[in-house]
Chains A and B, each alone.
Chain A
Amino acid sequence: AQSVTQLDSQVPVFEEAPVELRCNYSSSVSVYLFWYVQYPNQGLQLLLKYLSGSTLVKGINGFEAEFNKSQTSFHLRKPSVHISDTAEYFCAVSDLVYAGKSTFGDGTTLTVKP
């Protein structure tokens, strides 16, 4: 069994400030880790992913995330946010063993204020 916990349901932040969206996971097997973004009235799109190798992964739009195996975390960061980053962010894990087995967190609403 696997689960994903996004620790903040809403994160308000001012433009040009740094932001961190937190994600913890649990799984009985090894997993791939993902962050997706959903802009209003759209489908989800991939921000970044961790499959293996370097624990710091860089994604689109200036986002990065760090995989911490000991803390089973995969927190998303951006050093300076823009108004256009306002969206819903989802952390997800995918089971390495069973194809098609994915679990998403409940999402974090990032609101960037001017």
Chain B
Amino acid sequence: DTAVSQTPKYLVTQMGNDKSIKCEQNLGHDTMYWYKQDSKKFLKIMFSYNNKELIINETVPNRFSPKSPDKAHLNLHINSLELGDSAVYFCASSQESTGREQFFGPGTRLTVL
């Protein structure tokens, strides 16, 4: 069973479009995250969501919005896509009570044309 899964694995789209990336974890964790990894491999946290509390990285444009229908899912919606949004997006989850080791999904490679 996949612990943290993301769909789609690849996403190619035009500038200006709106797209969503889905994330699901079956570990029973209470915290989920979205990260952006650019072409230089730098990993930047975008959001974390813990027991319905959202922590937002202030540098993230408001075109990005996380949506959590329940504790096992944290989706990422992106409006008005720009060329600079091209990157690999990783979802992760952790459990507050057991040391916060993060389990990462396989990533979604987003290419904006």
Chain A residues engaging chain B, CB cutoff 8 angstroms: 32, 34, 36, 38, 42-46, 49, 51, 88, 90, 92, 94, 98-104, 106-107, 109
Contact of A34 among B31, B41, B101, B105 (CB under 8 A): B101
Q: A32-B99, A46-B101, A99-B50 are in contact. Are A104 and B43 (CB under 8 A)?
A: yes
Interface centre among B41, B45, B100 (most CB of A within 10 A): B100
Q: A100-B50, A100-B55 are in contact. Are A109 and B41 (CB under 8 A)?
A: yes
Q: A99-B50, A99-B96, A102-B33 are in contact. Are A88 and B41 (CB under 8 A)?
A: yes
Q: A51-B99, A106-B42 are in contact. Are A100 and B104 (CB under 8 A)?
A: no
Q: Closest residue of chain A to B98, judged by CB? A: A51
In the complex, number of A-B residue pairs with CB atoms less than 8 Å apart: 67
- In the complex, are the beta carbons of B33 and A100 less than 8 A apart? yes
| Contact partners of B55 in chain A: CB under 8 A | 98, 100-101
Within 8 A of A (CB), among B31-87: 31, 33, 35, 41-45, 48-51, 53, 55
Can you list, as one digit per residue, whether each of B3-41 has a CB less than 8 Å from chain A (1) or not (0)?
010000000000000000000000000110101000001
How near does chain B come to A21, taking the closest CB pair, in angstroms?
Answer: 14
How near does chain A come to B68, taking the closest CB pair, in angstroms?
Answer: 12
- In the complex, are the beta carbons of B41 and A100 less than 8 A apart? no
Q: A100-B33, A100-B49 are in contact. Are A44 and B106 (CB under 8 A)?
A: no
